[in-house]
Amino acid sequence: MLAACAASIAVLASACSGTEKAEGVAAEMEAAQMMGRSDAKRLLTREWSDSSALDTEIDSIKAARDRWVARNPATSGAYDSTYLHTVKAVDPQLYRHIRSRLERR
């Protein structure tokens, strides 16, 4: 009986830690989406009269994204899809410019 209780407690404890881990991953994914949306807005809310300034900003955003993904590799898809879909929805021409810039790297 004592062994059965100990086994039940172990199962419950592992289930709780699994839930906490899942919640942590969900929070990281949400943070990555928020960051992607915020970075897209940085590009979309400015007038870009100079393509070199735009490219510098794209490079800056990519560097910040790379630092984030290095710490949270599982979130790269969440960041990328949110960032690119936000830009594409608002400014398809800017989206094409970003895609071509990223593909050249």
- The percent of residues above 70 in pLDDT, for the chain, comes to 82
* Domains of the chain by residue range: 28-103
Contact status, residue 44 vs residue 91, Cβ threshold 8 Å: yes
pTM over 0.75: no
E runs forming strands in the chain: none
pLDDT in tens, 9-59: 554 455 455 677 778 888 989 999 999 999 999 999 999 888 899 999 999
Radius of gyration (C-alpha) of the chain in whole angstroms = 20
User: 8-25 b/e with 16+ CB inside 10 Å = b?
Assistant: eeeeeeeeeeeeeeeeee
Q: Dig out the tokens for 33 from the structure.
A: 């989406």
State how far the Cα of 77 lies from the Cα of 25, in Å rounded to an integer.
13
